[in-house]
């Protein structure tokens, strides 16, 4: 019922919209910066963490309290760090710093706060870790010395994840969920392992400590068809994951753009770290980039094919934010691997130009970028997408620094043993306060993915029919869209 109304609303918006698109002159850095400021300001209207009674650092959620899972807050602050880094606008730096520190889970400082146990995947924790790493790499303002530090936070995420590397099943790999009792604990997926790989490659380059590079290589090997479970196949498709009961052979063939791009960015760091002297990394980088650009851009515009269907948007709230990571991390890869600049940047530019057509003049942006018009499908993810596409156009502007290392200007204090005070299993045993709603909220990706595939047939019928038994998997959108109609 709710969903039917929403379809009607979207159709109405698409038909009635006659507003001008966001004005951007892509040949002018000033114009891009100005458009980015408008879109950033609109994005931050979704953040209420500084208001009385609200929790700092998070977007409204997790479901059923609001549409956004905890990880998306971590993704937001990474987006805002790039916004500052590329535009030099410091407006949101204080909120960004406070948020990344508040959610760190002091004194363990491992991004595993018990508040979020019910939806705590390695990928969720890892998104906060990647944003902390970005803060170190961009020399974002350091917190006061008595507070957690960016590099050490990324190391804590790395160390806690390395300690969870699981050789009991599938000869290695990280599980999706961290707590044993979460749905999805029996699933080993590409996103969890890709995020771990990404952080490891960046720590290798930043610190020069080869242990991180060895872990990255081990993770790639485990994912790949050559030596591992085959989540990355010979053609550089990156599939979603599989279950431990089946020795990770029941591979779910769904593909998501952010997984591939998180791997690409990590490969870019390894290419740069090894100075292009290890063809194994540079070759993989070239091939995965080629494949990913062909899968996730249609006529030069970013798409999310497993849920952005011709006649319907089937994406969960999570998935509605992937295009922004795709743009930002592909752009950053052209800094680490300049040989890819002529291949990647023209596509990012046509995609960003399409994106601008999907926004209103006030900086409210839709989700679909390839229809030449605003589609009325709005949210924090859609705003992060638009902002990511805009700021990525500034990546080669004069004065924009590339990721630093400890030896080339990095100032963030590290701690190779960070995260070793984490005793998560014990903490979880004591936490019997999870509600049923929380558990359902954690969901399982298989349900979502199946739903997406079925959605190709079923969802569109839903604009005319009921979808009451829609699986309430993690990230299945059930907040904002329907709440608005109440
Ligand atoms: C955890 O939840 C409590 C209760 O809502 C809140 O007061 C606290 O600020 C939260 N802490 C974090 C790190 O989210
Ligand atoms: C390198 O990283 C590993 C893994 O975290 C750590 O055990 C080791 O102490 C580090 N070495 C140095 C010299 O920091
Ligand atoms: C599990 O799969 C691996 C290949 O990834 C294979 O080498 C191994 O023999 C399999 N183990 C079992 C118990 O089937
Ligand atoms: C590593 O990055 C720097 C900074 O962008 C770049 O100048 C250099 O060419 C890169 N190295 C390789 C091997 O691409
Ligand atoms: C990918 O590689 C194929 C075959 O080499 C080539 O035809 C195509 O242009 C490449 N795509 C991109 C985006 O570079
Ligand atoms: C592809 O993009 C070009 C220029 O951006 C446009 O002229 C053309 O109509 C587009 N083709 C399709 C099929 O959308
Ligand atoms: C980083 O550089 C500083 C100053 O050059 C040095 O004291 C420190 O040991 C370095 N840290 C690492 C992890 O290499």
Cα–Cα distance between 272 and 275 in angstroms, integer? 5
Looking at residue 221, what is its pLDDT?
98
Q: Which domain holds residue 229?
A: 18-410+437-485
Number of domains in the chain: 1
Cβ atoms of 472 and 478 within 8 Å: the answer is yes
Ligand lying nearest the CA atom of residue 372: 6
Tell me phi and psi for residue 287, to 5 degrees.
-70, -40
Residues with a CB atom less than 6 Å from ligand 7: 207, 406, 414
Ligand 4 center–CA 135 separation, angstroms: 20
Contacts of 242 (CB under 8 A, 6+ apart): 170, 187, 188, 189, 229, 231, 248, 249, 250, 251, 252
Looking at residue 423, what is its pLDDT?
62
- Find the mean pLDDT for residues 338-353: 98
Position 2 in a domain: no
Which atom number of ligand 5 is nearest to the Cα of residue 347?
13
Position 298 in a domain: yes
Ligand 3 center–CA 444 separation, angstroms: 24
Position 93 in a domain: yes
Position 13 in a domain: no
- With a pLDDT cut of 70, the percent of the chain lying above it is 83
DSSP string, 371-419: SSS--S--SHHHHHHHHHHHHGGGTTSTTPPPPP-TTTT------TTTT
pTM, to two decimals: 0.88
Ligand lying nearest the CA atom of residue 337: 4
Q: Is 290 in the pocket of ligand 5 (CB under 6 A)?
A: yes
- Find the mean pLDDT for residues 185-213: 98
Position 3 in a domain: no
At residue 439 the predicted structure's pLDDT band, cuts being 50, 70 and 90, is very low
Mean pLDDT, rounded, of the chain: 87
Cα–Cα distance between 58 and 40 in angstroms, integer? 16
Q: Is 211 in the pocket of ligand 2 (CB under 6 A)?
A: yes
Pocket test for ligand 1, best of 50, 53, 55 (most atoms within 8 A of CB): 55
Looking at residue 421, what is its pLDDT?
77
- Chain centre to alpha carbon of residue 88: 23
The CATH number of the domain holding residue 475 is: 1.50.10.20
């Amino acid at each position: 019922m709710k969903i039917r109304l929403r379809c009607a609303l979207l159709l109405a918006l698409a038909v009635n919209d006659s507003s001008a698109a966001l004005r951007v002159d892509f040949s002018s850095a000033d114009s891009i910066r100005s458009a980015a400021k408008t879109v950033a300001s609109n994005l931050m209207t979704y953040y209420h963490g500084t208001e009385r009674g609200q929790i700092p650092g998070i977007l409204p959620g997790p479901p059923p309290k609001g549409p956004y899972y905890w990880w998306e807050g971590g993704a937001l602050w990474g987006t805002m760090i790039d916004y500052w880094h590329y535009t030099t606008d410091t407006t949101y730096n204080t909120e960004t710093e406070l948020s990344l520190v508040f959610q760190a889970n002091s004194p363990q400082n491992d991004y595993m706060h018990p508040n979020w146990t019910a939806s705590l995947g390695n990928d969720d924790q890892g998104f906060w870790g990647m944003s902390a790493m970005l803060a170190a790499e961009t020399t974002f303002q350091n917190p006061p010395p008595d507070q957690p530090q960016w590099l050490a936070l990324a190391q804590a995420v790395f160390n806690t994840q390395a300690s969870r590397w699981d050789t009991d099943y599938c000869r290695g790999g990280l599980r999706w969920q961290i707590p044993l009792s979460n749905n999805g604990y029996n699933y080993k997926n590409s996103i969890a392992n890709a995020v771990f790989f990404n952080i490891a490659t960046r720590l290798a380059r930043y610190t020069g400590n080869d242990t991180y590079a060895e872990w990255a290589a081990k993770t790639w090997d485990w994912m790949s068809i050559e030596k591992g479970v085959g989540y990355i196949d010979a053609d550089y498709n990156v599939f979603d994951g599989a279950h431990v009961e089946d020795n990770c052979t029941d591979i779910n063939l769904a593909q998501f753009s952010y997984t591939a791009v998180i791997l690409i960015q990590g490969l870019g760091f390894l290419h740069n770290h090894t100075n292009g002297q290890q063809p194994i990394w540079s070759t993989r980088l070239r091939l995965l980039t080629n494949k990913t650009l062909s899968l996730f851009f249609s006529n030069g515009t970013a798409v999310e094919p497993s849920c952005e269907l011709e006649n319907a948007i089937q994406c969960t709230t999570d998935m509605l934010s992937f295009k922004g990571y795709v743009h930002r991390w592909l752009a950053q890869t052209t800094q680490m691997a300049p040989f890819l600049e002529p291949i990647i940047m023209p596509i990012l530019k046509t995609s960003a130009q399409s994106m601008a057509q999907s926004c209103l003049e006030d900086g409210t942006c839709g989700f679909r970028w390839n229809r030449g018009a605003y589609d009325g499908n709005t949210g924090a993810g859609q705003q992060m997408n638009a902002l990511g596409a805009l700021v990525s156009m500034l990546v080669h502007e004069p004065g924009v620094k590339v990721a630093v290392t400890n030896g080339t200007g990095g100032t963030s204090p590290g701690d190779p043993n960070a995260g070793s005070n984490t005793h998560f299993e014990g903490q979880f045993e004591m936490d019997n306060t999870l509600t049923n709603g929380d558990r359902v909220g954690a969901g399982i990706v298989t349900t979502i993915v199946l739903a997406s595939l079925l959605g190709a047939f079923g969802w569109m019928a839903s604009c005319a029919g009921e979808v009451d038994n829609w699986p309430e998997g993690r990230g299945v959108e059930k907040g904002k869209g329907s709440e608005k109609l109440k």
